[in-house]
Amino acid sequence: MAALLPGTATLGVLGGGQLGRMFVHAAQAMGYRCIVLDPDAISPAGAVAEQHIKADYLDPLGLAQLARDCDAVTTEFENVPALALETLAGMRVVAPAAAAVAVCQDRAVEKAHFESAGVPCAPHAVITNDIELAAVDPALLPGILKTSRMGYDGKGQVRVHTAAELAEAWHGLGRVPCVLEQLLPLRRELSVLVARGADGQLVNYPVQQNLHRGGILAVTEVPAPDVPPEVATLAIASARQVAQALHYVGVLCIEFFWLEDGRLVVNEMAPRPHNSGHWTMNGADVSQFELQVRTLAGLPLPVPRQHSASLMLNLLGDLWFTAAGGPTPPAWDRVLALPGTHLHLYGKAEARHGRKMGHLNVTADTPEAAHAVALQAAAVLGLPTDF
C-alpha cells in the first residue's frame, strides 16, 4: 500500500504534453507542487508546472534531480522509456510501474497479457523474421499489420489483403517486430477508463463510444449510444480484469472493438489518462486527472459519478488553417455561445496539421441534447458531422 502523501508534497511527471499539463492542473488544485521532466523547452506541461527539468528521459542527472526534488512520479504517455521509470522506482514511489508500462509498449506482449488475463482479443500473429512471415495463417488476411512498438494515432499501421501485400508492408516498415491482426467487421469502438490504487481499490467510468478519423480519436460520446447493458457490463468487467491482472496502479484506458456479430474483443490499452476520458473534466464529479493524482498520492478513490450527458470533440491543428493558408484561430466565440460547451486548449505555440491542440466538451441533461449542440459546434468549426 502506498503511503499517503500530504498536500505539501511534490509530484513528478515524465513527459511534457497536454496530458501532463492537465495532470499538473489537477494536482495543483489539490495543493501539490509539480515538476515536469521533458526535453522540450516549451512543453505544455512544463509551462504550468512549478519546475521544468529540461532533460532527456534517460538522462542520469535529470532523473536524479527529479528523484531528489519530488515525492512520487508518474508518466503522461506510454512511450517514456520503462527504464526511466525503473530507475526512479529505486528512489521514489512510481505509478504506474515500469513493468506495467513495458507491457503497454509492445503490442505482442500486450496481446499475450490480454490472453493470460482471460480477455479475448482479435486473432493475430507475431512477425519478427522471415520464417514467421511465411508461416502466417492465410485466415488472418485481410488484416492490419502494426509495429509492435512506438505505434500510436494510426502510425506504424498498414492494411494488407494478400500474402504479397503483407510481405511488402513488413519490409516497408523496416522488418521490425510486428503484429498482424485479422480485420474484423466492426460495429463500434468502445473504451473503458479504470483507476486502481496501490491498495487494490478499483473504480471505473461508464463505457465510452469512440469515433476515429485517420487513426486519431475524433469524437467520444458518454453514455455510449445503442450499447446494450450486457455489452457494457462485459466491457467494464474485462477492463477491470486487465488492470487487476497487471497489478496496475494509476489510470488505465482499455479500448475495445464491438463486432457486428455481437462479440467484444480488446484492442489495446494506454497506461495513462486518455483522450476518450477528457469528457470527465466537465461531465463527471471527479476527472480522470484527479483520479491519476489520487492513485499517485495514495488518496481514496471515489466511484466516479457522471452527472451530465457528454460528448467530446478533438481539436486538431487543421482547424487553424483556412483556405487562405492560415494559421487563424477558430471562431471560439461562436462555439462558446452554444449551451454546455467547455473549451480546453493545450497551450501549444504552433498549430500543425494533425497536431492535438485541444478538445471541446459538450454537456447537457440528455444525450440527445449534447449530440445536437455538438453537431452545431462541429458545423461552426468546419468539422465533419458524421457522428
Residue-wise pLDDT for 236-262, tens only, equals 999 999 999 999 999 999 999 999 999
The share of the chain scoring above pLDDT 70, in percent, equals: 97
pLDDT of residue 154: 58
Tell me what the mean pLDDT of segment 138-157 comes to: 84
For residue 206, give every residue at least 6 positions away whose Cβ sits within 8 Å of its Cβ, in sequence order, or none: 222, 223, 224, 232, 306
Strand-pairing partners, residue 252, are: 194
CA distances from 167 to 108, 149, 211 (A): 18, 19, 30
Phi, psi of 223 (to 5 degrees): -65, 150
DSSP, collapsed to helix, strand or coil, labels residue 16 as coil
pLDDT of residue 152: 61
Confirm if 138 and 125 have CB atoms less than 8 A apart. no
pLDDT range class, residue 235, cuts 50, 70, 90: very high
- At position 71, the amino acid (one-letter code) is D
- Which cell numbers hold the place of 375? 453537431
Residue with cell 483556405: 323
DSSP, collapsed to helix, strand or coil, labels residue 59 as coil
84-128 pLDDT tens trace: 999 999 999 999 999 999 999 999 999 999 999 999 999 999 999
Q: How many CB atoms lie within 10 A of CB 164?
A: 9
Give the CATH architecture of domain 10-94: 3-Layer(aba) Sandwich (3.40)
The third-level CATH classification (topology) of the domain covering 123-182 is: Dna Ligase; domain 1 (3.30.1490)
Considering the chain, tell me which residue range(s) the CATH 3.30.470.20 domain(s) occupy: 186-381
Give the integer Cα–Cα distance in Å for 63 and 293. Answer: 20
Tell me what the mean pLDDT of segment 135-161 comes to: 87
Give the integer Cα–Cα distance in Å for 250 and 195. Answer: 5
pLDDT surpasses 60 at 323: no
pLDDT of residue 324: 56
How far apart are the two ends of the chain, measured CA to CA in Å?
Answer: 43
Higher pLDDT, 36 or 8: 36
Sort 367 into a burial class: Cβ within 10 Å, 0-12 / 13-18 / 19+.
middle
Considering the chain, tell me which residue range(s) the CATH 3.40.50.20 domain(s) occupy: 10-94
For residue 304, give every residue at least 6 positions away whose Cβ sits within 8 Å of its Cβ, in sequence order, or none: 203, 204, 205, 280, 284, 285, 286, 291
Give the integer Cα–Cα distance in Å for 63 and 56. Answer: 9
- Which cell numbers hold the place of 245? 491482472
3-state secondary structure 224-286: CCCCCHHHHHHHHHHHHHHHHHCCCCEEEEEEEEEECCCCEEEEEEECCCCHHHCCHHHHECC
Considering the chain, tell me which residue range(s) the CATH 3.30.1490.20 domain(s) occupy: 123-182
- Which cell numbers hold the place of 330? 477558430
pLDDT of residue 79: 85
Quick one: DSSP state of residue 207?
P
Give the integer Cα–Cα distance in Å for 300 and 89. Answer: 22
156-172 pLDDT tens trace: 889 999 999 999 999 99
Whole-prediction pTM:
0.94
Q: Which helix (H) or strand (E) holds 114?
A: helix 107-116
Name the CATH superfamily, with its identifier, for domain 186-381.
ATP-grasp fold, B domain (3.30.470.20)
- Which cell numbers hold the place of 184? 474484423
DSSP, collapsed to helix, strand or coil, labels residue 131 as helix
pLDDT of residue 352: 92
Confirm if 176 and 147 have CB atoms less than 8 A apart. yes
pLDDT surpasses 90 at 217: yes
Scored b (16 or more CB within 10 A) or e, 268-301 reads: bbbbbbbbbbbbbbbbbebbbbbbbbbbbbbbeb
Give the integer Cα–Cα distance in Å for 229 and 105. Answer: 32
Give the integer Cα–Cα distance in Å for 85 and 74. Answer: 8
Give the integer Cα–Cα distance in Å for 81 and 55. Answer: 13
pLDDT surpasses 60 at 1: no
